[in-house]
Amino acid sequence: MGRDIHVLLEETTSKIIMKLKPKLFCKYIWLNKSRNPMIYVKLKKGLYGTLQAAVLVWRLVTNTKIEWGLVLQRLNWWP
């Protein structure tokens, strides 16, 4: 992805992660002011809904079009 991307996972997702491997993740879970579990994670791949994921998809589509022999043109419609 080019650089490290960290995401804050809140209550529901944190609880699911804790159920998967409690011994591994228990030391990384913390409680917010409302006493809800939270965890920061570092992404290895693009996560749907993030700007980085959109850029990765755009690069994939663009590179695939170039490999197919299509010529990309810049549109000058912006004033």
Of 40, 15, 45, 42, nearest in space to 28 by CA: 40
Residue 53's alpha-carbon distances to 31, 33, 60, in angstroms, are 28, 30, 11
Specify the pLDDT at position 48.
65
Q: Give the confidence band of 79 by pLDDT, cuts at 50, 70, 90.
A: low
Specify the pLDDT at position 78.
67
**What is the model's pTM?**
0.51
> pLDDT per residue over 48-76, tens digit each?
667 777 777 788 888 888 888 888 777 77
- Average pLDDT score, the chain: 81
Quote the tokens at residue 26: 């228990």
